[in-house]
Amino acid sequence: MTQAGRPNLATGLAAAPSGRLVYAIGDCHGCLDLLLSLESKIVADASGKASTSKIIVYLGDYIDRGPDSASVLDHLVAGPPPGFEAAYLLGNHEEMLLQFLNGSEERALLWLLNGGKQTLISYGLDLTGLEAEGALETLRSELRARIPGSHLVFLENLKLTHEEGDFLFVHAGLRPGVSLPAQRREDMLWVRDAFLKSSQNFGSIVVHGHTPDNEPVERPNRIGIDTGAVYSGTLTALALEGTARHYIQVHSSEMPGTKHDYPKA
């Protein structure tokens, strides 16, 4: 049950900091064209509004599946649009890439099967003979040699959470019944049903990506803005100003808002 005075979308109590424009961008998964278009729309949306500061929170999963993962990281490393601050969050796909680079075998195949191959190709790697003995170690060595140091620094410094007023931003969500300081990294990057089906008041409205849907999902305790860009052609941002909120979307001309059943990794 919602506690009195606690942020709740249904009651309109949740607010961004006064005088601050807050934008959050969902999972772009290597779709640089959509990301650039959405940032341009955000700049236009903020233009002329009375605010003392502006920030874009990027919710993670910048890489994999789409064609331009390396270029997306190049773009993000260069910083946000002029006049904006930025907070860059870690997604489970960046986590899998880092684990692969660090020699972990635990999720190497899972990563490759869930879009990692497209990321390797974006860095110019040849995947011929991927099934051969020792191929994974060869790919790991080649990726270490090709990935720019600026990309590694960026990836290694991604945040798990970010807060703005009554809103908490995290890639996947939170584990119900666990305080924020005690939340496990694994859950913040991977949780699904336990979080999505929970009606718990987390003390903040949780803004997240990770679980794609055809439209943004609003519940009294959370807002999900992953609209499956790489499959649907739709990339979504949430805009917050005081207690007001709206969505900004861009659509690929090749995939105009197509509805999909999405993969779950």
Distance separating alpha carbons of residues 31 and 49, to the nearest angstrom: 28
What's residue 5's pLDDT? 63
80 within some domain: yes
pLDDT of residue 209: 99
Provide the edge-to-edge strand list for the sheet that holds 161-164: 161-164, 167-170, 205-208, 222-224, 217-219
pLDDT (tens digit, 9 = 90+) per residue, 88-115? Answer: 999 999 999 999 999 888 788 899 999 9
Question: Are the CB atoms for 35 and 235 separated by under 8 Å?
Answer: yes
Task: For 36-58, write each residue's pLDDT tens digit.
Answer: 999 999 999 999 898 999 999 99
194 by DSSP, 3-state: which? helix
pLDDT confidence band for 75 (50 / 70 / 90): very high
How far apart CA 222 and CA 205 sit, in angstroms, is 5
Range of the domain at 205: 9-13+20-251
Radius of gyration of the chain, Cα coordinates, nearest whole angstrom:
18
Mean pLDDT for all residues in the chain: 93
13 torsion bin: left (phi>0), alpha (psi -120 to 50), beta (else): alpha
Write down the residue that tokens 């910048």 correspond to.
62
Residue 265 lies in a domain: no
The answer to whether residue 67 is domain-embedded is yes
Number of domains within the chain: 1
260 found inside a domain: no
Establish if 172 belongs to a structural domain: yes
- At 11 the pLDDT is 73
Contact 198, 176 (CB under 8 A): yes
| 263 part of a folded domain | no
The overall pTM is greater than 0.85: yes
Residues near 70 by Cβ (< 8 Å), separated by ≥ 6? 119, 122, 123, 147, 151
Q: Token pair for residue 258?
A: 């197509």
The domain that holds 175 is classified in CATH as 3.60.21.10
In tens, the pLDDT along 225-246 reads 999 999 999 999 999 999 999 9
Q: Is residue 258 part of a domain?
A: no
